[in-house]
Amino acid sequence: MSLADSTSPNAAFAAVLIEKKRDYWRVRINNPERRNALSQAVVEGLIQAADAVSAEPAVRAVILCAEGDKAFCAGADLKERQGMSDDEVAAFIERLHEMMRRIETSPKVWIAEIKGACMGGGLELALCADLRVAHAGAKFALPEARLGIIPGAGGTQRLPRLIGVAGAKALILTGRRIDAATALRMGLVQESAADAEAAAERWAAEVGWCAPISLTQAKRAIDGGLDLSLEAALAHERECYAVTIPTEDRLEGLRAFAEKRAPVFQGK
């Protein structure tokens, strides 16, 4: 599977497309005939996309979206999986987890732009993003318990860390489907909008005002401190803060503040 820039003549044949903007990229799942399910090609494409954007110093944010309005991602590609051996399934699950961790631990800020169905593995993928914006008509569910399994791509761990144990159990132990307004009330998404694309771009623009190194270190401080004691987490925060002190961007921020102008950050 080859990853394609959206301007490439072969872009339409890629399972994941990249559109490069000035401060952010759009990474688009392109599997609409399977409701943007997590096929092997999609997983490999997302791994490649995460690696590619991590190597771009000018990029602050990544909008993770999907082709069409019917589904952000309907979960695993069960049709494809039916033809796989047990060993192949096990290998695929490992790559699925690796892909999600690459997104989750990326130095960039990932924003999930969710339209339509966001189900099972699709919701687990969205949980790996730093921010989530939903179209007002989006639907969310982790239905695995109704299928005789449990969420197996991080849902039982990431969801309670995001919305709390009680809310996570309410969704996972019932398989209940919720709408965007409920997802917003629960803290699952940051915004529900009639135009999710425009909303995601507004969030990307706000992220773009910040210094690249500051964004990376803030992510590391937040994510790295979650499972630590307060004392250890504060020490971790100081370590992340210390990385920003010798940067040119910090001095530019101070100059811009004094001169009452917008800073021009270089990621240095």
In a domain, 93, yes or no: yes
The pair of structure tokens assigned to 103 is: 């997104």
Residues 149 and 236 in one domain: no
Residues in a beta bridge with 28:
17, 65
Residues 254 and 192 in one domain: no
Residues 217 and 188 in one domain: no
Residues 133 and 216 in one domain: no
Q: How many domains does the chain have?
A: 2
The answer to whether residues 241 and 217 touch, using CB atoms and an 8 Å cutoff, is yes
In a domain, 266, yes or no: no
Residues 47 and 112 in one domain: yes
Average pLDDT, the chain: 91
Residues 21 and 90 in one domain: yes
10 pLDDT above the threshold of 50:
no
Q: What is the pLDDT of residues 134-161, one digit of tens each?
A: 999 999 999 999 999 999 999 999 999 9
Task: Supply the DSSP symbol for 76.
Answer: B
Residues 70 and 166 in one domain: yes
SS3 202: helix
Residues 236 and 156 in one domain: no
Residues in a beta bridge with 62:
25, 110
CATH of the domain at 221: 1.10.12.10
At 160 the pLDDT is: 97
At 81 the pLDDT is: 80
Best CA proximity match to 112, nearest among 209, 29, 38: 29
7 pLDDT above the threshold of 90:
no
Residues 149 and 204 in one domain: yes
The answer to whether residues 18 and 52 touch, using CB atoms and an 8 Å cutoff, is yes
Residues 50 and 10 in one domain: yes
In a domain, 264, yes or no: no
Q: What is the pLDDT of residues 53-84, one digit of tens each?
A: 999 988 999 999 999 999 999 988 878 788 88
Reported pTM: 0.91
12 pLDDT above the threshold of 70:
no
Residues 226 and 139 in one domain: no
In a domain, 71, yes or no: yes
Residues with catalytic annotation? Answer: 76, 121, 124, 144
Domain that holds residue 248: 212-259
At 13 the pLDDT is: 52
Q: Provide the strand spans (E) within the chain.
A: 4-5, 16-20, 24-29, 61-66, 71-73, 109-114, 117-119, 131-135, 139-141, 178-179, 191-193
Residues 84 and 101 in one domain: yes
